[in-house]
Structure 1
Amino acid sequence: MAKQIQLGKSDLYVNPIGLGTNAVGGHNLFPGSDEEVGKQLVRTAIENGINLLDTAFMYGPGRSEELIGEVVKEGGKRSDVVIATKVGPKFVDGKMLMDNSPAFLQEEVEKSLQRLQTDYIDLLYIHYPDQDTPKDEAIGALKQLKDEGKIRAIGISNFSPDQLKEANKDGYVDVFQGEYNLLNRKAEQAYFPYMIENKISFIPYFPLASGLLAGKYTKDATFKDFRASLPYFQGEAFAQNLDKVERIRLIADAKGVEVAHVVLAWYLTREAIDVIIPGAKRAEQVLNNLKTLNVQLTNEEIQAIDSIFHV
């Protein structure tokens, strides 16, 4: 069993490898995905010591929460699982609108509790900022829900550094989720110092840069989905990034592990990061992600990776 890590200053303790569940019932993101395969993926995670399940209303929308609720209920041990979910946005006339108003947040938390078939959510995030609501007011609404026992920890996602500081004016924010990987290290300057100073856990999303940092691709690969528009998949940048990944492969090969394991292990050496939540589409990928915990990087290797992907 992996050592449990405290999330920020909250009372949540988790395996450093969590599970991102956007492929579990996230039919709007992965059309045609098999719900039973998704549920088995969650079962495999729980059975093998992964206790942080990261979901969101956006995945489905709502369906991911429902499937996770079913699996957790059938297991009968709610207290063994740390469920993180994100409220918002709302859909009006087919348009996606952000809303951080206290009334909306409180209403959405009640709906999430029903979908998850639980009476409390361990970590509740505001998924996206809106333009109007003062951020400390939005967090105040979550603090009230925490005081009522409906949520245990408060998170925010996709907020700018200034919005984060406004949200945390009273020191209530426990976790921040944002984009960070070896190809996009802006968060190291923009967020990490504030996180460390305020004991807020930074949880990175897109940790493997849509598979590029997993060592899956060759220079003749072509993309027709959302990856085609990402800057690190473009022309010369793509070729240079693949060369960098090959340098990581040398470290991985020497350890008898995969490139992804080395990359994920490197993130866990960052002071601001307590846990990572790689996604998976199949149960065997969940087990594979857990191999990250066996990777011990030397100081020389940590510095070498840092310099290969120098900002």
Structure 2
Amino acid sequence: MSNRTTIGRTGLNVFKIGLGAGSVGNQMMYPNVTEETGKQLVKTALDQGINFIDTAYLYGLGRSEELIGEIIKERGGRDRLVISTKASPDFKFVDGVMEIDNSRPALRQAVEDSLARLQTDYLDVYFLHFPNTKTPLAEVAGTLAELKQAGKIKAIGVSNVTFDQLLEFNTDGHLDILQVQYSLLVREAEAEIIPYCLDNQISIIPFYPLADGLLAGKYTKNDTFNDMSRMNNPLFHGEAFLDNLYRVERLKAFALKKEVETAQVALAWLLTRPGVDIIIPGAKRPDQIESNIRTLDVHLSENEIHQINEMFGMKP
């Protein structure tokens, strides 16, 4: 079986494991990941054959894009890479509510700014990161379609949308890729969002594929968290955290029998899901990237997939 695939209808050919670069240049969210470590993560990914790098303006307010751009400029080979980033123009909080200007002028400027930071003249995938905007989502999609027509971007994406927002964004059929939270522990997208994407040839890229590291099987009930990502994640709170640890322990036992890592099973399961062409786990250490790539050596039978589904449908 090939380790490469094409993302939906985009024509973008990628290694099935990408790099979610949320920790690169993003010390506000990941204070223990230095810029040098972040750069090493990207270099390791490229050295290991990964060609899809997913970043965003909000990852360090542009710093992630800058560091990735520096590495690509140094190494060359831009035409062999698939670079994905996400727009959050004029991002700010007003009375605790996030506000983003997704108007046509703001989005067009945001693309130019991302191109400059990444030191490239086109973006392979450009996502609307959040729908918090006064601009109608169908109009936002239209602006991105203009940018696609102009050659600034190759594929249109959206992230962090409800099902109704997804429908509005795709009113005119512009959407190529949806990023949605999806993992063994978060499967709400299976109800309406994923069936719609399958019916409309929209590829699905899960974010938080390891549920912010919970599915790696490294945590215990005594662990505490001081990073914003996990502190704000309900999977890590109270009884839900204990329930999730129970399920992950069962997955750990399953992985042990297969002589693979727990995270690799969780990622391999995602690659069996309809509509999921590529997964983009993040990393805080280079060895985690190497481990993620070995996911492609994990093969799950239909019976094993059924066993895993049962684990995560059970109450302790």
TM-score with structure 2 length normalisation? 0.93
Equivalent pair of 2:99/2:133 in contact (CA under 8 Å): no
Deviations 1:86-107 (A, max 9, x none): 0104245888521221111101
Percent pairwise identity = 51
Give the Cα separation in 2 of the matches to 1:228 and 1:112: 29
Match of 1:177 in 2: 179
Give the Cα separation in 1 of the matches to 2:119 and 2:63: 12
Match of 1:18 in 2: 18
Give the alignment's Cα RMSD to 1 decimal. 1.9
Give the Cα separation in 2 of the matches to 1:229 and 1:130: 19
Output aligned runs, 1:46-85, within 5 Å. 46-85=46-85
Equivalent pair of 1:157/1:178 in contact (CA under 8 Å): yes
Match of 2:257 in 1: 254
Equivalent pair of 1:127/1:158 in contact (CA under 8 Å): yes
Output aligned runs, 1:119-268, within 5 Å. 119-226=121-228, 227-268=230-271
Give the Cα separation in 2 of the matches to 1:204 and 1:120: 23
Matched residue SS, 2:9: coil
Give the Cα separation in 2 of the matches to 1:127 and 1:287: 28
Shift of 1:80: 1.0
Matched residue SS, 2:125: strand
Match of 1:8 in 2: 8
2:30 aligned partner, one-letter code: F
TM-score with structure 1 length normalisation? 0.94
2:278 aligned partner, one-letter code: V
Matched residue SS, 1:90: coil
Give runs of ≥4 in structure 1 deviating > 6 Å: none
Deviations 1:60-79 (A, max 9, x none): 11000011011111111001
Match of 1:276 in 2: 279
Shift of 1:290: 0.3
Deviations 1:195-247 (A, max 9, x none): 11111111111111222111011233233444345333233332222221121
Give the Cα separation in 1 of the matches to 2:48 and 2:119: 23
1:251 aligned partner, one-letter code: F
Give the Cα separation in 1 of the matches to 2:133 and 2:151: 28
Aligned CA distance change for structure 1 residues 63 and 225 (closer, same or farther; 3 Å): closer
Deviations 1:253-284 (A, max 9, x none): 12211100000000111102111111011211
Equivalent pair of 1:99/1:129 in contact (CA under 8 Å): no
Equivalent pair of 1:126/1:155 in contact (CA under 8 Å): yes
2:214 aligned partner, one-letter code: L
Query: More deviation in 179-188 or 239-248?
Result: 239-248
Give the Cα separation in 1 of the matches to 2:211 and 2:142: 34
Shift of 1:6: 1.5
Structure 2: any 5+ residue segments left out of the alignment?
none
